[in-house]
Amino acid sequence: MARPRIFVSSTFYDLKHVRNDLDSFITSLGYDSIMNDKGQVPYSATQPLTDNCYDEASRADILIGIIGGRYGSDSGDDMYSVSMKEIQTAIRNNKQVFIFVEKSIFNEHQIYQLNKDSLDIKYAHVDNIKIHKFIEEIQALKINNAMIEFESVTDITGFLKEQFAGLFQRLLQDRATITEQTTLYDLNETIKQLKGITERLKNENEIFTNKFNGSVFAVNMVVGRISKLIGIQKGQIYASNRESLYELLENLGFSIVDEDDDDFDPWESEVIFRKYTSEIKLMLHICNEVFDPDDRIRDIRKKEQLEKYIKFEETDLPDDYVPF
């Protein structure tokens, strides 16, 4: 079973007793402690030991940082020790961090705040002023910046017991809330997915429909039905919009019937075309629904819609009929 992994970061020699007690405390809870001096940091042959420590700090679930009076091993960065860099690594990786500062140093930090611009002052409880600068830097963070003063390990373990219990209780509350909201969440997710599918299909349809809109060679079912109705058996007429379609029909001998003509009898909002031959009169009705707001020919595929929007009539003419 997976267990929480807790990284303990501190200087070694001055806080050795604190580290030992924390190791016993963590293991008594059934958690895994990660301490370099206990051999719990795996070493890599391809990177420095300090980098191995930073990697483990980034992988741990919780980091406990202990700040005492000694600066400790230098990290190669002029401003930070190795333990300071471990704490920074955990914070940067959004880990749960608990930082404890010896009470004497915590109290002395107030003196540092008042005199940090002075170069002559010496501090009694730290061997390097960088410790106070690091405390100031952590406190300036917007999150994960809590620091707790302590006098003994009992102060640390007592605080951690309360914090671990609080984290566990919050986990239980969150699980209960998730359980209560599962049905609503699933429903909302289903609705979102359906909306996404609908929108995607709509977009794909628009892309397909508009792919040839800029070309006069756009062919669709509307143009195909008109071709068949007016008797074009071989070849195909091409049009992409109202203007090009009307021009083609006029070139084929059709003319638009105006409202004053006896043949003007619209069955709905439409345009009527008429053509005479030697024996018959051809009437072509084109509903305005076949055009979109930009006068482009719609991609209509349903047979019943095509039959509704495009109608054709042939009427025999009298032998003595002469069109005017």
- Helix, strand, coil percent content, the chain, rounded in steps of 5: 45, 15, 35
- Which amino acid, 270? E
Angle, CA of 262, 317 and 237, to the nearest 5°? 80
Residue 179, pLDDT > 70, answer no
Tokens of 175: 């699980």
Position 84 scores a pLDDT of 95
User: Are residues 66 and 155 in contact, defined by beta-carbon separation less than 8 angstroms?
Assistant: no
CA distance 45 to 299: 66
Find the mean pLDDT for residues 17-43.
90
Question: What does pLDDT average to over the chain?
Answer: 84
CA distance 244 to 62: 72
Better pLDDT: 267 or 121: 121
Other C-beta atoms closer than 10 Å to the C-beta of 122 total: 6
Least confident of 88-102, 179-193, 223-237, 302-316: 179-193
User: Are residues 29 and 164 in contact, defined by beta-carbon separation less than 8 angstroms?
Assistant: yes
- With cut-offs at 50, 70 and 90, classify the pLDDT of residue 108: very high
Find the mean pLDDT for residues 279-300.
88
- With cut-offs at 50, 70 and 90, classify the pLDDT of residue 142: confident
CA distance 167 to 170: 5
Q: Which residue has the tokens 């609080």?
A: 166
- List residues bridging with 313 in a β-sheet: 283
Please give the full DSSP string across 102-135, using - where no structure is assigned.
EHHHHHHHHHHHHHTT-SS---SS-S-THHHHHH
Please give the full DSSP string across 207-247, using - where no structure is assigned.
HHHHTTTT-TT---HHHHHHHHHTT--SS----SBHHHHHH
User: Are residues 296 and 303 in contact, defined by beta-carbon separation less than 8 angstroms?
Assistant: no
Position 212 scores a pLDDT of 42
Least confident of 91-100, 159-168, 188-197: 188-197
pLDDT digits 0-9 by tens, 207-233: 544 544 444 344 578 888 888 888 876
State how far Cα 46 lies from the chain centre.
36
- With cut-offs at 50, 70 and 90, classify the pLDDT of residue 101: very high
Domains and CATH numbers, the chain: 5-151 (3.40.50.10140), 221-316 (no CATH)
Strand order in the sheet with 32-34: 32-34, 5-9, 62-67, 96-102, 147-150
- With cut-offs at 50, 70 and 90, classify the pLDDT of residue 263: low
CA distance 137 to 117: 15
- List residues bridging with 149 in a β-sheet: 101
Angle, CA of 241, 291 and 300, to the nearest 5°? 100
Q: What are residue 190's phi and psi, to 5 degrees? A: -65, -45
- State if pTM tops 0.85: no
For strands 255-256 and 147-150, give the pairing: unpaired
Least confident of 30-39, 88-97, 144-153, 231-240: 231-240
Best mean pLDDT range from 60-64, 173-177, 179-183, 271-275: 60-64
Residue 183, pLDDT > 80, answer no
Find the mean pLDDT for residues 119-139.
91
- With cut-offs at 50, 70 and 90, classify the pLDDT of residue 133: very high
Position 211 scores a pLDDT of 47
